[in-house]
Amino acid sequence: MSDISSLEKYLPELVHCMKCHICYSANWQKLDDWRILCPQAAKFGYESYYAAGKMELARAFLEGRIKEPTPRLLEVLYTCTGCGGCREQCTELSGLKIDHVDLYEKMKAYIVSKGWGPLEKHKKFSQSVAENHNPYVEPHKNRFDWMPKDVKPSSGEEIVYFVGCTSSYRQQKIAQATVKVLKAANIPFSIMGQEEWCCGSPLIRTGQLDIVNNLASHNIETLKSMGAKTVIFSCAGCYRTFKEDYPKLGFELPFKPRHTTQFFLNLIRDNKLKLKSLPKELTYHDPCHLGRHAKVYKQPRRILKALKVNYHEMPRNTTDAFCCGAGSGVRAAYPEYSKWVCKERLDEVKEVGASVLASACPFCKNNFVETLKDFPDLKIDVVDISELLEEAL
């Protein structure tokens, strides 16, 4: 994955891209009002930060024109949140068959393999994952401290809940709500306990691939030994990593990965959950990992419909959703820029008249909650769909 020659297959597209620029005005063509989808383009404005700028960098790497990267080059690569907005628009409008995000991640892996990266703030991800099995420098033994006393998972069940680092250490209410909803529906489930390790997403997104195979192998083998047939994820990032990245690394999944929004919608359809209405003025933010990367758009909205919320769709939604600004190590390395992107999204929430912002990823929730501390006047409640379901029980 870190071999720059793997980008050669993209060479014709790289040349095309420099003469194209369709995606710069894509939203102008698709929406009534003009809005940029690329957070980098929205913030920095210069062509080098757009998809085309990174394509030109890829070409320069391939042609051996970059002997050592400048700080600005690193900034161009590492302020990309990997949201996939450019890929969506490019595929639709220019018809190119290129995986932009794969290309950017390969460039970061190349930079790391040359010793030019990652950024200082990203180094602690890999150190902490190696030492603590999580990127947050938290003790591994505390991983399941969030578990409510009245919920007892069993062992040997075919359904296993993979909690993920962010719900385990930063947004524990999401994990608590998830197990309470499973219990309410009488779904027997197991958890991995101390054998659950970081899925590797923060390392893959920042180009640090050294231990990713170990993480994937450990998680998959443990789940296999537990007899898992379905593994459910409340973290959009973990879900995408299992579903998309592990197979790319050559691993076969001996179980079905399911995001909680997919799993919970089936429970609602099977009448396993009796839910009250929640007449909240609410909008939904598509997490990039769940939406553009895993193509899960309908299930969260159908759950919200079942909850009878007063729904307000934001102008940038589904395939054209605007990123929360947290992904690919951006929150850690560029907190002010990350907050700027997040505030753009929060303004869109207010614009449509919503006071509740629902999402389906603890990482998105974390960024919204942290950013709102700087803007208390916005008065927006941020909740995960699992928490809404718990409230409606």
Instruction: Using CB under 6 A, list all residues that contact ligand SF4.
Output: 16-17, 20-23, 37-40, 51-52, 55, 80-86, 89-90, 93-94, 96, 100-101
Q: C-beta of 15: minimal distance to ligand SF4 in Å?
A: 10
Is there a contact between 82 and 51 (Cβ–Cβ < 8 Å)?
Answer: no
Q: Please, which residue, 22 or 66, has the CB nearer to ligand SF4?
A: 22
Quote helix, strand, coil % in the chain, to nearest 5.
55, 5, 40
In the complex, the smallest distance separating the C-beta of residue 337 from ligand SF4, rounded to whole angstroms, is: 11
In the chain, the amino acid numbered 258 is: R
**Residue 140's closest CA among 151, 148, 128, 132?**
132
Nearer to ligand SF4, 95 or 115 (CB): 95
Tell me the DSSP string of 332-385. Answer: HH-HHHHHHHHHHHHHHHHHTT-SEEEES-HHHHHHHHHHHTT-GGG--EEEEH
β-sheet bridge partners, residue 381: 356
We find the least distance from the C-beta atom of residue 27 to ligand SF4, in angstroms, to be: 11
Closer CB to ligand SF4, residue 40 or residue 359?
40
For ligand SF4, which is the closer residue by CB, 98 or 175? 98
C-beta closer to ligand SF4: residue 23 or 372: 23
- Closer CB to ligand SF4, residue 29 or residue 142? 29
What is the spatial distance between Cα 146 and Cα 144, in angstroms, rounded to a whole number?
5
CB of 186 to ligand SF4, least distance (A): 41
Contact residues for 338 (Cβ-Cβ < 8 A; gap 6+): 325, 326, 330, 331, 367, 371
Give the CA angle between residues 191, 193, 196 to the nearest 5°.
Answer: 90
- Least spacing, CB of residue 209 vs ligand SF4, in Å: 19
Smallest distance from ligand SF4 to CB 23, Å: 3
Contact call for residues 146 and 168 (beta carbons, < 8 A):
yes
